[in-house]
Amino acid sequence: MPVDSGEAALVAELQLGSEVAFRTLVARYQGRVYRTALSLLRSPEEAEDVAQEVFVEVYQTISRFRGEASLTTWLYRLATSRSLKTRRKAHAKKRFAYFTSLLGFDNDILHEPPDHAHPQALLEGRQQLQLLLDHIARLPDQQQVAFTLRHEQALSYDEIAAVLTTTVPAVESLLFRARQTLRKHVQPHFRHV
């Protein structure tokens, strides 16, 4: 992906330690980074934290940026990898808390885990949008990132390939599989509409 000359000048200024350039970077890209994180995390607070972490990382590592990809691509990469890492940590904490809540001090089971398998319990009180978001969140990481970057961030296939460090045919495959999975799981709930 060709590097924009304005972007190259911004990178050069950043590498010289310019605070003005850093403020420009944040002003220009903060929305994109935040929206990418929010799309993957669905939590404004976590997305804000990730966005801050991304810009701190850029500030600390910009001297090593060599321009193999565009600055925008690098920012999307950082945002998606940090978001996925945050999500994995949150899931691990929830699992640990859930299992420890089932056990007493002597590792005796205090109560039986609730039955979440009943279809009516899963769908009760959920709106169709939430159902779709839930299924997007269940996609494998690479499919979810590709789907999110394409449909929520409107990136081109080339841009997604650069972010994921893969090829355009691989992106097409990820998007195809994501759409197939979503169609399979979500479409039955939308037939009555």
pLDDT in tens, the chain (193 residues): 445 678 999 999 999 999 999 999 999 999 999 999 998 998 999 999 999 999 999 999 999 998 888 999 999 999 999 999 888 876 555 544 443 343 344 444 444 444 444 444 444 434 566 777 888 889 999 999 999 899 888 899 999 999 999 999 999 999 999 999 988 887 776 654 4
What six digits make up the tokens of 190? 């939308």
In sequence order, the 6+-apart residues with CB closer than 8 A to the CB of 82 are 37, 50, 53, 54, 57
Q: Do 77 and 144 belong together in one domain?
A: no
Centre a 10 Å sphere on the Cβ of residue 164 and count the other Cβ atoms it contains. Answer: 19
Q: Do 99 and 133 belong together in one domain?
A: no
Q: Do 11 and 92 belong together in one domain?
A: yes
Q: The whole model's pTM is what?
A: 0.64
Of 54, 73, 104, the one marking the end of a domain is: 104
In sequence order, the 6+-apart residues with CB closer than 8 A to the CB of 160 are 146, 149, 150, 171
Query: Which CATH number covers residue 41?
Result: 1.10.1740.10
